[in-house]
C-alpha cells in the first residue's frame, strides 16, 4: 500500500536532514543515542519479538562486538570496519553455541539462562587480564577520519553512521518479517508444538533468529566502542544494559517493526530528562520511571505503544481490535 | 496393496504407567481408520507416537516403507504425516490464511506460491471467506476446520484427526463427515480418533478398538459393533 | 590444603546455603502455587534488609528482635504486590508476566535508591556480632545465627504447608488449581497468601543477612540469581528440594570460590544453573 511506504521515506528524509536543524552538539548526541538504542532494540526484537524467545542477556553480544573490534584494533591494527564484521561473526558463533543447548528451554527457564550466560561472560571478562579485566580498554584516538572510524572534531559522522546502521538493521528485520521466516517465527512464538507438526524445525529457526540478532547487536557494540573510545565489562556487558535493550522493544511493541524505535526514543528521552532534572542517574529516578512504564505496559498494553495505537486506530475505524491481521 | 502405515507391536510407558501395549495394525493408502475406545484407553498416546510427539518405548512404526519409529514431528510432517490437535492449537495471532501458509511453506519457501496453495486448502475446507480473520477470532468449529486446512497444506499422505467432532452439533458433524469424505477422495488416508460414533461409524473402512492400552478388536464398523469384547469394554466403563 | 580449612569452608558454605535455601523456598512457593517466576524476589530480600537496618539505626532495635516485625511487614508487601499488580496478569501471556515482575524489580530498586541513596550501609555491633571458635575452626556469630534462623524459618514453612489446614489448601491449589477451586478453596486468597509468605521468606532472609552483609539498593540482584539456581536445582515448586539445593549451592559457591578464586564465585554458581536445566530439567525433587 502506498500509505505504508511514504511515512518511512518521510522519516528517513527527516532523519537525514535533522542535523541541519538541530545544530547543538549535545542535542545531536541525544539523537545519536536514540538511534543507537533503537538499532539494538530492533536487533533484539528479531529474536525476542518475532520469534518469541525473550533474552535478558543481549549485552553479551554487544560486549563481544565491542571487545572483538577493539582488541583487533589495539593488538593487530585491524580497521574497525573489518572489526565490526569480525565482531558480528564472533558474536554469531557464540550465539549458536549457546543457543543450541539453551533453545531446549522454555519461557522463563530460557530467560534466566540468558541472564546467566551474560553474567558469566561479564565475570570472565572482568577477571581476564589480557582483555583489560575490570580496568577496561581505551581506544586510540590519534588517527581520525572515516577509515579510522574516529571523529573528534564533530560528532556528525557518528550520526550518519548510526543512522546507516539503524536503517540497515530495520531493513534486515523487515526482510525477515516479510519472508517465510516471518511466518515461521510467529508460528514458533504462538504455538511451538503446532509449528513442529507442520514441519518447522524449532531449533534450526531459533538459531537463525539468534544469529541475525546477535550479529546486528554486536555491530552496535563496535559503533559504541568507536564513539566512546573506552570500553569495560561494566559498560558493555552489564545485565542492566540487556534490560534496557529488551525494554525498548517491550515498551514500543514487541513484534512490530518500528516499535523498538519508538520505545528507544522514549527511554532515551526519559534518561536525558531525569539526568537534567535530578542530576545524574545515581538517584534512581530513571529506574522508578522505567519500572512504572514496564508495569503499565505489561499489565495494560502488552503489545506496547504500537499495539495500543493499532487498537485505538481500529476502534476509530469501527472494527474490533485484532479482528483482521494487518500483514 | 502395500500398507501406507504399519504399526508393529507398539508400546508406550510413562514411568510405571503403561499407556500402550503391543498394538499392531496397518493403514492402506486412502483408507479411513477409526480409532475408538473408552476414556483412558490410550488413543491419544498412540496418536502422538505415530505423529512423532512421543517416542515409543517398544515396537516399530513404518511409514511409506520407511522406518520412522521415534522420528520427530517435523520429520514426520516432511514425510507426509499431518495431524490436528484435540485442544485446538491454531496460531492465534495469525490470520487463517497465514496459519495454513506456515504449512504450505514446508514444500516451497516462496511466499506467493505458498499463499496460493494455502488459499486452495482454505477453500477445500470452506473457510475462504474467513481467510484474513485472525485465528483467535474464529469460532471453535472454524478453528477445527482451520487445523484440518493447515494439515492439508502439508499435502500429506496420512492425516491424523484427533477428536475433531467433539462438541459439534449434528449439522456440524455432518459437515465434518463430508469433509473427511472429500479428503479421502483426494487419496489421503485418515486415522481418526473419535468419541462421536455417528461421526466415525458411517465413514470408516476399518475400526480399531483400544481398551486399557491394548488393541481388543479390529474390523469393519459392523463387525466391531457386534464384537462382544468391544461391548464389554464400553459397558464395563459405564 | 588442610582438613580444617576444607571443613571450615564447607561449613561456611552450609551456613550461607541455608540462607539461600530460605530465599529460594519463598520463590519456589510462588512458582509452585501459580506458575509465575518472581524476578522481583531479590527486592523483597532487599526490603527486609533495609527494614532491619533502619530499625536498628533509628531506634537501636536489634535485627534479631525486629525479625518478626520484618516478616510481617514483608508479608504485607508481598500480599499488596499480588493485589495491585500480579492479580491482573495471571491470565496474561508469559511475556507479560515476565515483564511485570521485572518491572517491579526495577521499580523497587529505583525507589530504594531514591529514598535511601545508593550508599552501602551496615548494621554495626548488633547483638550477634563476634566470632565463635570450635577447635581450629572459626565462624562469625551472625552467620551461625543466620543459618540457624534460616533453618527455623524453613521448618516453620514446612510445618505450615504440611501440618495445617491452610497449608494443605495452599498445596492443593499448587497441585491442581481448578480442583481446589471446586472443593471450595478460595484461589485469590491462596495466591495472596503465597505471595505474602514468599515475600516474608525473602524478607526474613534479608533480616538475617543484615547483621553481616552490606545493605544497598542493588543487593537483591545477586541473591535472586542464586535463588533461581537453587530453585532450578531443587526443582521448581518443591520446598524440600529448595532446602537441600540451597545448601548444595552454598557449598559449591564457597568451596568453589575458595578453590578457583572468589571473583569467579558467581560465574560458577550460574554455570551450575545451566548444567542443571540442560541436563536434569526437573531438578532434584521437582515436578516433571
Q: Give the DSSP per-residue string, B137-194.
A: GS-HHHHHHHHHHHHHTT--SEEEEESTTTT--HHHHHHHHHHHHHHHHTT-EEEEE-
Burial class of residue C201 in the structure, from the number of CB atoms within 10 Å of its CB (0-12 exposed, 13-18 middle, 19+ buried): buried
A60 to chain B, closest Cα gap in Å: 31
What is the number of structural domains in chain B?
1
User: Quick one: which of C101, C72, C75 has its CA closest to C86?
Assistant: C101
Band (pLDDT 50/70/90 cuts) for residue C288 is very low
Given this model, what pLDDT does residue A327 score? 42
Domains, chain A, ordered by start: 2-316 (1.10.3470)
- The H or E element containing residue B28 is none
Cα B232 to chain centroid, rounded: 26
How many inter-chain contacts (A to C, CB under 8 Å) are there? 135
- For residue B185, pLDDT over 70 is answered with yes
Q: Are residues A56 and A244 in contact, defined by beta-carbon separation less than 8 angstroms?
A: no
How many alpha carbons lie under 13 Å from residue C138 in its C-beta half-sphere? 2
Residue B22 lies in a domain: yes
Q: Are residues B58 and B9 in contact, defined by beta-carbon separation less than 8 angstroms?
A: yes
Query: Please, which residues have CB within 8 angstroms of residue B92's CB and are 6 or more apart in sequence?
Result: A190, A191, B134, B135, B136
Mean pLDDT taken over chain A:
88
Residue that is written with C-alpha cell 525476542 in the block: A48
B8 to chain A, closest Cα gap in Å: 23
Kindly state the average pLDDT of the residues C132-140. 83
| CA distance linking residue C77 with residue C195, whole number of Å | 9
User: Quick one: which of C133, A197, C210, C39 has its CA closest to B162?
Assistant: A197
| CA distance linking residue A95 with residue A150, whole number of Å | 28
Cell triple for residue C247?
Answer: 545448601
**What are the strands of the beta sheet with B158-162, ordered from one edge?**
B81-83, B158-162, B189-193, B32-36, B206-211, B214-219
Kindly state the average pLDDT of the residues C206-222. 92
User: Quick one: which of A302, A315, A212, A182 has its CA closest to A252?
Assistant: A302
Pick the residue of A135, A287, A292 with the most C CBs within 10 A to test the interface with C by mutation.
A287
Residues of B in contact with A306 (CB under 8 A): none
Q: Is C143 strand, coil or helix?
A: helix
| CA distance linking residue A79 with residue A70, whole number of Å | 9
C84 to chain A, closest Cα gap in Å: 10
Q: Are residues B73 and A197 in contact, defined by beta-carbon separation less than 8 angstroms?
A: yes
- The H or E element containing residue A17 is helix A2-21
Of A127, A284, A295, which has the smallest distance from its Cβ to C113's Cβ? A284
Q: Are residues C283 and A109 in contact, defined by beta-carbon separation less than 8 angstroms?
A: no
In chain A, where do the E strands start and end?
A: 137-138, 230-231
Percent of chain A with pLDDT over 90: 54
C156 vs C92, higher pLDDT: C156
Query: Please, which residues have CB within 8 angstroms of residue B199's CB and are 6 or more apart in sequence?
Result: B165, B168, B173, B176, B177
Q: Is C16 strand, coil or helix?
A: helix
| CA distance linking residue A203 with residue A19, whole number of Å | 44
Residues of B in contact with A191 (CB under 8 A): 89-92
Residues of C in contact with A297 (CB under 8 A): 99, 103
Cell triple for residue A262?
Answer: 519508538
Given this model, what pLDDT does residue C287 score? 61
Complex ipTM more than 0.90, yes or no: yes
- For residue A3, pLDDT over 60 is answered with no
Q: Are residues C255 and C10 in contact, defined by beta-carbon separation less than 8 angstroms?
A: yes
Long-range interactions of C166-170: CB distance < 8 A, separation 24+ = C166/C193, C170/C33, C170/C194
Sign, CA dihedral A185-A186-A188-A193, equals: negative
Q: Are residues A297 and A251 in contact, defined by beta-carbon separation less than 8 angstroms?
A: yes
A264 vs A326, higher pLDDT: A264
- The H or E element containing residue B9 is strand B5-14
Kindly state the average pLDDT of the residues B107-121. 95
| CA distance linking residue A322 with residue A255, whole number of Å | 14
**Would the CB atoms of A286 and C118 count as touching at under 8 Å?**
no
Provide the residue range defining the domain that includes B202. Answer: 1-71+190-238
Residue B98 lies in a domain: no
State whether residue A129 sits within 8 Å of chain B by CB. no
Q: What is the dihedral of CA B118, B121, B127, B128, to 10 degrees?
A: 60
Sign, CA dihedral A263-A264-A269-A271, equals: positive
Query: Please, which residues have CB within 8 angstroms of residue B76's CB and are 6 or more apart in sequence?
Result: B51, B52, B63, B68
Of C98, C110, C271, which has the smallest distance from its Cβ to A284's Cβ? C110
Kindly state the average pLDDT of the residues B192-207. 89
| CA distance linking residue A23 with residue C116, whole number of Å | 39
Residue B109 lies in a domain: no
| CA distance linking residue A201 with residue A185, whole number of Å | 11
A48 to chain B, closest Cα gap in Å: 16
Neighbours of C158 (CB within 10 A): 15
A204 vs A18, higher pLDDT: A204
| CA distance linking residue A111 with residue C287, whole number of Å | 20
User: Quick one: which of B217, B168, B178, B172 has its CA closest to B38?
Assistant: B217
Query: Please, which residues have CB within 8 angstroms of residue C92's CB and are 6 or more apart in sequence?
Result: A298, A299, A302, C100
Q: Is A177 strand, coil or helix?
A: helix
Residues of A in contact with C229 (CB under 8 A): 116
C66 vs A9, higher pLDDT: C66
- For residue A282, pLDDT over 70 is answered with no
Q: Are residues B12 and B1 in contact, defined by beta-carbon separation less than 8 angstroms?
A: no
Q: What is the pLDDT of residues C225-264, one digit of tens each?
A: 899 999 988 988 889 999 999 999 999 999 998 888 888 8
User: Quick one: which of C175, C186, C161 has its CA closest to C237?
Assistant: C175
Given this model, what pLDDT does residue B238 score? 47
- For residue A322, pLDDT over 70 is answered with no
Kindly state the average pLDDT of the residues C58-83. 94
- For residue B84, pLDDT over 80 is answered with yes
Length of chain A: 327
User: Quick one: which of A255, A242, A299, A227 has its CA closest to A70?
Assistant: A227
Neighbours of A181 (CB within 10 A): 21
- For residue B194, what is the domain's CATH number? 3.40.50.300
pTM (2 d.p.): 0.89
Long-range interactions of B217-224: CB distance < 8 A, separation 24+ = B218/B25, B221/B34
Residues of C in contact with A134 (CB under 8 A): none
Residue that is written with C-alpha cell 569452608 in the block: C9
Residue that is written with C-alpha cell 469384547 in the block: B229
Residues of A in contact with C88 (CB under 8 A): 299
Given this model, what pLDDT does residue B210 score? 92
State whether residue A104 sits within 8 Å of chain B by CB. no
Neighbours of A48 (CB within 10 A): 29
Residues of A in contact with C288 (CB under 8 A): none
Cell triple for residue B206?
Answer: 476399518
Band (pLDDT 50/70/90 cuts) for residue C5 is confident
Chains in contact with chain A (at least 3 beta-carbon pairs closer than 8 A) = B, C
**Would the CB atoms of A291 and C109 count as touching at under 8 Å?**
yes
| CA distance linking residue A229 with residue C101, whole number of Å | 36
Q: What is the dihedral of CA B196, B202, B206, B210, to 10 degrees?
A: 20
Q: Point out which residues pair with B193 in neighbouring strands.
A: B35, B162
Chains in contact with chain C (at least 3 beta-carbon pairs closer than 8 A) = A
State whether residue A270 sits within 8 Å of chain C by CB. no
Q: What is the pLDDT of residues C154-176, one digit of tens each?
A: 999 999 999 998 999 998 888 88
Q: Point out which residues pair with B206 in neighbouring strands.
A: B33
| CA distance linking residue A304 with residue A45, whole number of Å | 13
Of B74, B110, B132, which has the smallest distance from its Cβ to A324's Cβ? B132
Residues of B in contact with A199 (CB under 8 A): 74, 77-78, 103, 106, 154
Mean pLDDT taken over chain B:
92
**Lowest-confidence range among A11-20, A183-192, B180-189, C206-215?**
A11-20
Given this model, what pLDDT does residue A326 score? 44
DSSP line for A90-103: HHHHHHHHHHHHHT
A126 vs A275, higher pLDDT: A126
Query: Please, what is the Cα angle at B79 between B77 and B84, to 5 degrees?
Result: 30
Residue that is written with C-alpha cell 547487536 in the block: A217
Band (pLDDT 50/70/90 cuts) for residue A271 is confident
C42 vs A179, C46, C96, C101, C108, CA distance in Å?
A: 42, 6, 19, 11, 10
Of A194, A201, A322, which has the smallest distance from its Cβ to B89's Cβ? A194
- The H or E element containing residue A141 is none
Of C95, C108, C221, which has the smallest distance from its Cβ to A54's Cβ? C95
A187 to chain B, closest Cα gap in Å: 6
**Would the CB atoms of A325 and B95 count as touching at under 8 Å?**
yes
Percent of chain B with pLDDT over 70: 98
Amino acid at each position: 500500500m502506498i500509505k505504508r511506504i511514504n511515512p518511512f521515506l518521510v522519516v528517513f528524509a527527516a532523519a537525514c536532514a535533522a542535523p541541519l536543524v538541530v545544530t547543538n552538539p549535545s542535542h545531536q548526541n541525544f539523537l545519536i543515542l536514540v538511534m543507537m538504542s533503537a538499532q539494538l532494540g530492533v536487533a533484539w526484537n528479531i529474536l525476542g519479538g518475532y520469534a518469541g524467545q525473550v533474552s535478558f542477556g543481549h549485552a553479551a553480544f554487544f560486549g563481544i562486538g565491542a571487545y572483538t573490534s577493539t582488541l583487533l584494533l589495539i593488538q593487530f591494527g585491524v580497521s574497525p570496519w573489518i572489526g565490526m564484521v569480525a565482531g558480528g561473526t564472533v558474536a554469531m558463533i557464540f550465539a549458536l553455541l549457546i543457543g543450541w543447548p539453551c533453545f531446549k528451554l522454555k519461557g522463563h527457564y530460557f530467560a534466566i539462562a540468558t541472564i546467566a550466560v551474560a553474567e558469566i561472560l561479564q565475570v570472565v571478562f572482568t577477571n581476564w587480564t589480557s582483555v583489560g579485566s575490570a580496568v577496561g580498554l581505551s581506544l586510540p584516538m590519534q588517527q581520525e577520519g572515516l577509515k579510522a572510524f574516529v571523529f573528534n572534531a564533530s560528532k556528525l559522522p557518528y550520526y550518519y553512521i548510526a543512522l546507516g546502521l539503524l536503517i540497515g538493521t530495520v531493513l534486515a528485520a523487515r526482510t525477515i518479517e516479510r519472508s517465510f521466516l516471518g511466518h515461521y517465527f510467529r508460528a514458533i512464538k504462538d504455538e511451538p508444538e503446532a509449528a513442529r507438526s507442520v514441519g518447522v524445525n524449532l531449533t534450526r529457526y531459533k538459531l537463525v533468529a539468534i544469529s541475525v540478532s546477535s550479529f546486528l547487536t554486536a555491530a552496535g557494540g563496535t559503533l559504541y566502542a568507536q564513539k566512546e573510545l573506552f570500553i569495560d565489562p561494566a559498560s558493555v556487558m552489564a545485565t542492566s544494559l540487556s534490560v534496557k535493550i529488551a525494554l525498548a522493544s517491550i515498551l514500543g511493541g514487541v513484534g512490530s517493526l518500528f516499535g523498538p524505535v519508538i520505545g528507544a526514543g522514549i527511554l532515551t528521552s526519559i534518561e536525558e530528562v531525569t539526568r537534567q532534572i535530578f542530576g545524574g542517574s545515581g538517584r534512581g529516578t530513571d529506574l522508578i520511571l522505567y519500572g512504572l512504564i514496564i508495569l503499565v505496559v505489561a499489565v495494560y498494553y502488552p503489545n506496547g505503544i504500537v499495539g495500543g495505537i493499532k487498537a485505538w486506530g481500529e476502534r476509530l475505524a469501527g472494527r474490533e481490535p485484532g479482528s483482521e491481521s494487518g500483514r | 496393496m502395500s500398507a501406507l502405515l504399519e504399526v508393529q507391536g507398539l508400546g508406550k510407558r510413562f514411568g510405571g504407567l503403561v499407556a500402550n501395549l503391543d498394538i499392531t495394525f496397518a493403514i492402506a493408502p486412502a483408507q479411513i481408520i477409526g480409532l475408538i475406545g473408552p476414556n483412558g484407553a490410550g488413543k491419544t498416546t498412540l496418536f502422538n507416537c505415530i505423529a512423532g510427539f512421543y517416542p515409543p518405548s517398544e515396537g516399530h512404526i513404518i511409514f511409506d516403507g520407511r522406518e520412522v519409529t521415534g522420528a520427530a514431528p517435523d520429520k514426520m510432517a516432511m514425510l507426509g504425516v499431518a495431524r490436528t490437535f484435540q485442544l485446538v492449537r491454531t496460531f492465534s495471532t495469525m490470520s487463517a490464511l497465514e496459519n495454513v501458509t506456515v504449512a504450505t511453506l514446508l514444500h516451497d519457501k516462496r511466499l506467493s506460491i505458498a499463499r496460493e496453495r494455502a488459499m486452495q486448502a482454505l477453500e477445500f475446507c470452506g473457510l475462504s471467506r474467513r481467510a484474513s480473520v485472525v485465528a483467535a477470532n474464529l469460532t471453535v468449529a472454524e478453528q477445527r476446520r482451520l487445523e484440518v486446512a493447515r494439515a492439508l497444506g502439508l499435502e500429506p499422505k496420512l492425516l491424523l484427526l484427533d477428536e475433531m467432532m467433539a462438541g459439534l452439533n449434528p449439522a456440524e458433524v455432518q459437515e465434518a463427515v463430508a469433509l473427511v469424505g472429500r479428503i479421502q477422495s483426494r487419496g489421503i488416508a485418515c486415522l481418526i480418533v473419535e468419541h462421536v460414533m455417528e461421526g466415525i461409524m458411517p465413514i470408516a473402512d476399518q475400526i480399531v478398538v483400544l481398551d486399557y492400552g491394548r488393541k481388543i478388536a479390529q474390523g469393519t464398523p459392523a463387525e466391531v459393533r457386534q464384537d462382544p469384547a468391544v461391548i464389554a469394554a464400553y459397558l464395563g466403563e459405564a | 590444603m588442610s582438613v580444617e580449612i576444607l571443613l571450615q569452608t564447607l561449613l561456611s558454605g552450609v551456613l550461607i546455603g541455608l540462607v539461600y535455601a530460605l530465599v529460594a523456598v519463598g520463590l519456589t512457593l510462588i512458582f509452585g502455587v501459580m506458575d509465575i517466576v518472581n524476578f522481583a524476589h531479590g527486592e523483597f530480600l532487599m526490603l527486609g534488609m533495609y527494614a532491619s537496618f533502619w530499625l536498628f539505626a533509628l531506634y537501636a532495635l536489634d535485627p534479631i528482635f525486629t525479625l518478626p516485625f520484618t516478616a510481617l511487614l514483608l508479608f504485607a508487601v508481598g500480599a499488596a504486590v499480588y493485589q495491585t499488580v500480579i492479580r491482573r496478569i495471571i491470565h496474561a501471556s508469559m511475556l507479560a508476566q515476565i515483564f511485570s515482575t521485572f518491572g517491579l524489580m526495577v521499580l523497587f530498586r529505583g525507589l530504594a535508591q531514591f529514598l535511601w541513596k545508593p550508599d552501602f550501609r551496615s548494621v554495626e555491633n548488633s547483638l550477634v556480632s563476634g566470632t565463635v571458635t570450635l577447635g581450629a575452626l572459626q565462624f562469625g556469630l551472625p552467620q551461625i545465627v543466620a543459618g540457624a534462623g534460616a533453618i527455623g524459618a524453613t521448618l516453620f514453612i514446612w510445618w505450615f504447608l504440611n501440618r495445617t489446614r491452610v497449608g494443605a489448601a495452599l498445596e492443593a491449589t499448587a497441585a491442581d488449581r481448578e480442583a481446589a477451586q471446586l472443593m471450595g478453596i478460595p484461589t485469590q486468597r491462596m495466591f495472596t497468601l503465597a505471595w505474602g509468605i514468599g515475600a516474608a521468606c525473602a524478607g526474613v532472609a534479608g533480616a538475617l543477612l543484615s547483621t553481616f552483609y552490606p545493605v544497598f539498593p542493588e543487593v537483591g540482584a545477586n541473591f535472586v540469581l542464586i535463588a533461581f539456581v537453587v530453585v532450578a536445582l531443587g526443582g521448581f515448586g518443591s520446598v524440600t528440594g529448595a532446602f537441600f539445593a540451597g545448601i548444595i549451592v552454598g557449598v559449591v559457591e564457597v568451596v568453589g570460590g575458595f578453590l578457583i578464586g572468589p571473583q569467579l564465585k558467581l560465574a560458577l554458581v550460574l554455570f551450575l544453573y545451566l548444567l542443571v536445566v540442560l541436563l536434569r530439567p526437573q531438578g532434584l525433587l521437582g515436578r516433571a
